[in-house]
């Protein structure tokens, strides 16, 4: 290890009050020493510590800025309307203008499963299927129905990229055309503990983690996914998460409605049944599509209805989004705001001992995908039936656990598969 480089690293740590990161340095091998010092030189301490400091500033929220965002309800359409819009969407899909992005770069800290969440095996007795397989089967069904091969992009994190790719390899890409699948990694940021200190994942490694699903646009630009989509003449991109086993990756109705209403951005919502449920809902903020965080929604606001008796703020986000490639290009250059999340992360303490916390201990900074929608004047919002389209796996003890997902998955497929 070059002494100059080590001195430079020490200087940076001193400036940002992070000298503890070298506390186990003397016990490291030469290779490990080099790795740690290089990581210190690469990390943008100014950025992460500013994010940390600013995250304690009181959020200025005014109900006066908020108004309802109009939405359609799938259940209100007549058969002929459903047919009309779906045919419109179908035509675009059949023309090969549609691609899918699966955002699978999350840490899945609540589930606490070792490995990428997409590799989690859902027990569908007698078979087990990984979340990746479930997602793949959904896209394969569309390929079969429309006689096409949809380009499928999977966003991973630096942490889970290799394991994810290996998982696809050993599973023979679930018989999906291999050349139609592309992986790309998203950005990362260091984690910070409650004392404002970065933490060690290993004695030679500072813990960094993916920086939120909203980083998808910057990452698509950086890894030339946008260019790849352009080269294929793709016009529409569906963006969804990995953990909803009822996610409809290819829905001609959503696409047809988006085209017919001349929108560039569309999302699906489900009705938020309980007024004070901890779920964000769609709204309009200062005239732009936005998200209304549950922390700001009181009972009175949540119970508000229009003159026709329809709730104004009950359209819950389910991470099911459609955007035109033009819209993605527009936001791919923008730095979206960071939100602070409090998560459970194991770390190596100053004595070199690994500690596994039983409750959240670290702050993580994340971009949220829906913040990109505020860059558009309008968007299409379509309310769908939660029993048909929303069965996420978030943890083992809450309402979104593997058992509830399995039940909904089985019920749905019993009713729809022949």
Pairing of strands 281-285, 288-292: antiparallel
Q: Give me the least distance between CB of 175 and ligand UTP, in Å please.
A: 23
| DSSP code string of 92-122 | HHHTT-EEEEEE-----TTTT-SS-GGGPEE
Q: Who contacts 199 (Cβ-Cβ below 8 Å, separation ≥6)?
A: 190, 191, 192, 193, 206, 207, 345, 347, 348, 362
Give whole-number Cα distances, 283 to 175, 264, 310, in Å: 41, 17, 14
Q: Give me the least distance between CB of 391 and ligand UTP, in Å please.
A: 13
> Tokens 């959503």 belong to which residue?
254
For ligand UTP, the closer CB: 28 or 319: 319
Across 107-128, b (16+ Cβ under 10 Å) vs e yields bbbbbebeebbbbbebeeeeee
Q: Give me the least distance between CB of 279 and ligand UTP, in Å please.
A: 12
- Over its C-alpha atoms, the chain yields an Rg (Å, rounded) of 23
Q: Which stretch binds ligand UTP (CB under 6 A): 34-42, 93-101, 107-115, 302-310?
A: 107-115
Binding-residue pattern over the window 210 to 229 for ligand UTP, x denoting contact by CB under 6 A: xxxx----------------
Binding-residue pattern over the window 284 to 323 for ligand UTP, x denoting contact by CB under 6 A: -----------------------------------x----
190 lines the binding site for ligand UTP (CB under 6 A): no
Binding-residue pattern over the window 154 to 183 for ligand UTP, x denoting contact by CB under 6 A: -x----------------------------
Among positions 103, 198, 254, 312, the unique one binding ligand UTP when judged by CB under 6 A: 103
d(CA 92, CA 258): 12
343 lines the binding site for ligand UTP (CB under 6 A): yes
402 lines the binding site for ligand UTP (CB under 6 A): no
- How many CB atoms within 10 Å of residue 417? 7
234 prior amide bond cis, ω within 30: no
Q: Is the dihedral of CA 143, 144, 146, 148 positive or negative?
A: positive
Nearest residue to ligand UTP on Cβ basis: 106
d(CA 282, CA 158): 31
For ligand UTP, the closer CB: 212 or 256: 212
For ligand UTP, the closer CB: 28 or 154: 154
Q: Give me the least distance between CB of 298 and ligand UTP, in Å please.
A: 24
Q: Site size for ligand UTP, by CB under 6 A?
A: 23
Q: Which stretch binds ligand UTP (CB under 6 A): 208-216, 246-254, 355-363, 372-380?
A: 208-216
331: buried, middle or exposed (CB in 10 Å: 19+, 13-18, 0-12)? buried
89 lines the binding site for ligand UTP (CB under 6 A): no
110 lines the binding site for ligand UTP (CB under 6 A): yes
Q: Give me the least distance between CB of 152 and ligand UTP, in Å please.
A: 15
CA-closest candidate to residue 204, choices 35, 378, 16: 35
Q: Give me the least distance between CB of 174 and ligand UTP, in Å please.
A: 17
3-state secondary structure of 367: strand
- How many CB atoms within 10 Å of residue 399? 9
Q: Give me the least distance between CB of 302 and ligand UTP, in Å please.
A: 22
Q: Who contacts 116 (Cβ-Cβ below 8 Å, separation ≥6)?
A: 104, 108, 156, 160, 163, 164, 167
DSSP state of 262: T
117 lines the binding site for ligand UTP (CB under 6 A): yes
Binding-residue pattern over the window 18 to 37 for ligand UTP, x denoting contact by CB under 6 A: --------------------
Among positions 18, 107, 249, 361, the unique one binding ligand UTP when judged by CB under 6 A: 107
- How many CB atoms within 10 Å of residue 287? 11
For ligand UTP, the closer CB: 22 or 131: 131
Among positions 109, 141, 261, 401, the unique one binding ligand UTP when judged by CB under 6 A: 109
105 lines the binding site for ligand UTP (CB under 6 A): yes
In the structure encoding, which two tokens stand for residue 372, read together? Answer: 């990109």
Among positions 108, 256, 289, 402, the unique one binding ligand UTP when judged by CB under 6 A: 108
- Binding residues among 233-262 for ligand UTP as defined by CB under 6 A: 241-243
Name residue 343's beta-bridge partners: 362
> Which residues of the chain form contacts with ligand UTP (CB under 6 A)?
103-111, 117, 155, 186, 210-213, 241-243, 319, 343, 366, 394
């Amino acid at each position: 290890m070059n002494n100059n480089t080590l001195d430079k690293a020490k200087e940076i740590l001193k400036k940002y009050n992070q000298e503890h990161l070298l506390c186990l340095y003397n016990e490291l091998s030469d290779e490990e020493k080099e790795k740690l010092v290089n990581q210190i030189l690469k990390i943008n301490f100014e950025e992460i510590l500013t994010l940390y400091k600013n995250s304690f500033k009181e959020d200025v929220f005014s109900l006066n800025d908020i108004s309802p965002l109009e939405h359609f309800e799938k259940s209100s359409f007549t058969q002929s309307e459903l047919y009309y819009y779906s045919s419109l969407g179908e035509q675009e899909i059949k023309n090969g203008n549609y691609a899918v992005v699966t955002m699978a770069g999350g840490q899945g800290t609540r589930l606490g499963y070792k490995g990428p969440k997409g590799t989690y095996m859902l027990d569908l007795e007698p078979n087990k299927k990984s979340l990746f397989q479930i997602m793949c089967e959904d896209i394969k069904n569309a390929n079969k129905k429309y006689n096409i091969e949809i380009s499928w992009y999977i966003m991973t994190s630096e942490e889970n990229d290799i394991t994810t790719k290996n998982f696809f390899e050993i599973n023979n890409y679930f018989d999906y055309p291999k050349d139609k699948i592309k992986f790309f990694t998203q950005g990362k940021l260091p984690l910070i503990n409650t004392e404002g200190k970065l933490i060690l994942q290993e004695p030679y490694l500072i813990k960094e983690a993916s920086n939120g699903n909203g980083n998808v646009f910057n990452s698509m630009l950086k890894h030339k996914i946008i260019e790849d989509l352009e080269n294929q003449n793709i016009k529409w991109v569906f963006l969804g998460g990995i953990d909803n086993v009822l996610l409809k990756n290819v829905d001609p109705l959503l696409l047809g409605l988006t085209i017919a209403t001349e929108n560039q951005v569309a999302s699906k919502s489900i009705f938020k049944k309980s007024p004070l449920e901890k779920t964000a809902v769609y709204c309009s903020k200062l005239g732009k599509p936005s998200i209304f965080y549950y922390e700001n929604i009181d009972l009175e606001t949540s119970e508000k209805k229009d003159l026709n008796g329809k709730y104004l703020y009950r359209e819950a986000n389910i991470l099911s989004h459609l955007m035109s490639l033009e819209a993605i290009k527009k936001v791919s250059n923008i730095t979206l705001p960071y939100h602070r999340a409090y998560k459970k992360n194991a770390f190596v303490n100053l004595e070199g001992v690994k500690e596994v916390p039983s409750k959240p201990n670290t702050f993580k900074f994340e971009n949220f995908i829906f913040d990109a929608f505020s860059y558009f004047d309008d968007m299409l919002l379509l309310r769908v039936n939660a029993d048909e389209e929303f069965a996420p796996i978030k943890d083992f003890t809450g309402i979104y656990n593997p058992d509830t997902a399995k039940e909904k998955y089985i019920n749905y497929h019993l009713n729809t598969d022949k």
